[in-house]
Amino acid sequence: MLSQARAEGLLSTEHFTVDGTLIEALASVKSLRRKDSADGPPPGADGSGMRDWKGERRSNATHESSTDPEARLMRKGNGQPAKLSYGAHVLMDNRHGLCAALALTEATLAEHRAADRLLAQARRRRWRIKTVGADKGYCVREFIAGCRRRGIAPHVARIEGRRTPGLDARTTRHTGYAVSQRKRKRVEEIFGWLKTYGGLRKTRFVGRVRVELHALLAATAYNLLRMAKLAPKVIR
C-alpha cells in the first residue's frame, strides 16, 4: 500500500513526524496480582468480593495483570489515574498525513526510543529522511544525537532552559523548522481516527502481538481512506 502511495505521489520519504499515545488494555487494575504470590490481597469487608488494595503500593516491578500480563501500568499525565496500557507510536508523512509506520510497545518504553526504532525501520526501507518533527517529549540528547548520526535534522520542539546539543538556533531559525512544528500536529488526526473509528481507545484483544495486528489493520484502513480522499483514482 505504501508503495502504491509513493507511485501516486502521495507519500514523501523526506519529511516526517513521530509521536506516541497510550492504548488502554483489555484489563483493569482489579486484575493485578503480585508477581511473587498467586493470590492477591484479601477480599474487602463489604461482601462484594472485591480485593482490598488499601495500604499496598502497586507497580510494574511488583505486580502484573492476570488478564493480560504484557500490559503495563501507565498514566497519561500528572493527576491522571494509572491504567494498564500499551504504547502506540507512529511515523507520519508530513506532506499528506499518511501513517508511514506504526509500532506497538510496552507502555513504559520511552517515546524517543520507540521513535528511534521507527527511524531505523525507515532506513532499512532506504528512505532518505531529511527532517523529523516531534513535540517536547523528544527533546532529549539521545534522540537528537541519533537523528544527527542518520543525517536527519531534528525539528523537535525545544524546552526552554534545557541545553540540548544538536538542537539550537542553527536548526530552529530555518523556515522548515516552523513548517515541521505546524505539520506535526496533524499526527493527532491519526490517533483520533484509530481510537474513535479503529476501536483502539480500548483494545478488544489480549497480548501485544494481537493488539499490534489490530493497530496495523486500523492504520491501513486509515491510509486507504486518506488516499481515496487525496486521489480518488487510486482506489477503484
Strand stretches in the chain, DSSP E: 15-24, 32-34, 63-65, 72-74, 83-93, 99-106, 131-134, 153-156
Distance CA 101, CA 212 (A): 12
Q: What count of Cα atoms within 13 Å lies in the side-chain half-sphere of residue 149?
A: 10
Q: The pTM is what? A: 0.87
Place of cell 506535526: 184
The answer to whether residue 230 scores a pLDDT higher than 60 is yes
Mean pLDDT (whole number) for 31-47? 67
**pLDDT at residue 233, as a whole number:** 53
Place of cell 508503495: 3
Instruction: Report pLDDT digits (tens) over 169-226.
Output: 889 999 999 999 999 999 999 999 999 999 999 999 999 999 999 999 999 999 999 9
Cβ atoms 23, 205 nearer than 8 A: no
Burial class of residue 175, CB neighbours in 10 A (0-12, 13-18, 19+): exposed
Instruction: Report pLDDT digits (tens) over 112-135.
Output: 999 999 999 999 998 999 999 999
Distance CA 149, CA 80 (A): 36
What SS3 class is residue 169?
Answer: helix
Name the CATH superfamily, with its identifier, for domain 2-24+90-234.
Ribonuclease H-like superfamily/Ribonuclease H (3.30.420.10)
Distance CA 227, CA 225 (A): 5
In whole angstroms, what separates CA 61 from the centre of its chain? 22
Q: How many helices (H) and strands (E) does the chain have?
A: 7, 8
Longest dimension (CA), the chain: 65
Distance CA 135, CA 80 (A): 20
Instruction: Say how many C-beta atoms besides its own lie within 10 A of residue 122's C-beta.
Output: 20
* All structural domains of the chain with their residue ranges: 2-24+90-234
**pLDDT at residue 51, as a whole number:** 59
The count of residues in the chain is 236
Distance CA 118, CA 200 (A): 20
Question: Which residues are paired to 90 by β-bridges?
Answer: 19, 102
